[in-house]
Amino acid sequence: MRFFACGLVLACAFTGTAHAGHDPARQVLPAGDGWASAGPGTTGGSAATTVHEVRTRAELIAALAAPAPRIIKVRGVIDANTAPDGTPLRCTDYATGGYSLEGYLAAYDPATWGWQREPEGPLEEARKASAKKQEATIALNVGDDTTVIGVGEGAGINGGSLRIHGSRNVIVRNLTFRDTHDCFPRWDPTDTSPGASPGNWNSLYDSISIQRSEHVWVDRSTFTDAPNPDSRQPLHFGRPYQVHDGQLDITNGADLVTVSRNRFEEHGKTMLIGSSNTSTTDPGKLRVSVHHNVFRNVLERAPRVRFGQVHVYNNLYEGAQSYSWGVGVHSRIFAQNNYVKGIAAEKVVYNWGGTAITDRGNLLNGRPHSFVHAHNAANPDKQLATDAGWTPTLDRGLEPAHRIRHLKAGA
């Protein structure tokens, strides 16, 4: 017997038993499947007696605040940029304190402001206040012992930032994350990318942000900027007006994470593991497995790693990229049995201050290739050793790279 309950704001929920073998919402991470399976493993909200089915932002917010353990099933597409009553919100609805993009551009034009100082003053304060209003709406906070799963074709979240901050035992599956855009990017004339013109526009929100959390499994989801790709953004001050940050970032001491069978596409800053070169919280943490994902036409960070002990295996990389595996300070990447096609060999690895990367069993267009050797040949002043100093053991389902050529992944 099942008992149903519906409130005015809460989604319909039911109590009763479900068979773990038949309901994906009750599936747990299999033993041996990456770092998130270490120790007690990752079970999410599988023990929940109440299942929340949500179709709107208000229902999702209420379900996330319900007692744990919790299973939250997302049906259809939830637009995070909506008011509590369901009214759609545009960027102009968040603007406050006299902020306008036109005014901001006029105030901080390098022709008058210069290139040596970061923005400050009334327009910068108005931008910060406007950004806080948007953040209060689109930030979706996920607590302990939670499973958030899409049900039915096309289920997902538009414009939202799912935040797994300070939480344990979380599962996110079968969702499409679209266009997590920042309405109020910050101009920094002092932030210069190697080989690029001076200055950068920096945005704030990740589609999924994992911080200070452990035992997290992100599986079979799709991450895309469509229908608002970076290619449609204008240039301001000679630099791309970047409204997107990371698609899935794992930082600030997060640990024991498995990222599997997702699709990342048409994006710039894709996956960052590690907070900063001087972090005091990341050392000894950031144990992450990234496997059976498709990275298609992403520019960089697939992933970029600082400090982390990261197993990158059985992923498919397609399309032009600036780099895929970013070897940052104190990072220990073990890249194994990946399939790369349509990318120049020297563009796969880049040294961001690291010392070594293990590169084993990988294929380039169907042929064995050492990407670290290609990097070293192209960058004689940034040499990397070929042994990251560890051997993964939690690699359930490891396959030869040739089987990954036609990998299907995503929601």
Is 0.85 surpassed by the pTM of this model?
Answer: yes
- Decide which of 8 and 402 is more confident: 402
For residue 185, the 8-state DSSP code is P
Confidence of residue 19 (pLDDT cuts 50, 70, 90): very low
Structure tokens at 51: 């299942």
- pLDDT for the residue numbered 21: 53
Distance of CA 129 to the CA centre of its chain: 25
Residue 238 gets the label, from left (phi > 0), alpha (psi -120 to 50) or beta, of left
248-257 pLDDT tens trace? 999 999 999 9
283-308 pLDDT tens trace? 999 999 999 999 999 999 999 999 99
Q: Burial of 276 by CB count in 10 Å (0-12 exposed, 13-18 middle, 19+ buried)? A: middle
Confidence of residue 153 (pLDDT cuts 50, 70, 90): confident
- pLDDT for the residue numbered 193: 75
Residue with tokens 């992403």: 298
Whether residue 242 contacts residue 185, with contact meaning beta carbons closer than 8 Å, is answered with yes
Annotated catalytic residue 261: no
Confidence of residue 195 (pLDDT cuts 50, 70, 90): confident
86-142 pLDDT tens trace? 999 999 999 999 999 999 999 999 999 999 999 999 999 999 999 999 999 999 999
CA-wise closest residue to 382 among 360, 358, 352, 357? 352
Confidence of residue 4 (pLDDT cuts 50, 70, 90): very low
What span, in angstroms and rounded, lies between the C-alpha atoms of 274 and 411? 26
Q: Burial of 20 by CB count in 10 Å (0-12 exposed, 13-18 middle, 19+ buried)? A: middle
Structure tokens at 351: 């040294």
Residue 127, CB-side half-sphere exposure with 13 Å CA sphere: 23
315-354 pLDDT tens trace? 999 997 799 999 999 999 999 999 999 999 999 999 999 9
Mean pLDDT of the chain: 93
Query: 363 pairs with which residues across the strands?
Result: 339, 368
Active-site residue, from 173, 301, 304, 306? 301
Distance of CA 186 to the CA centre of its chain: 20
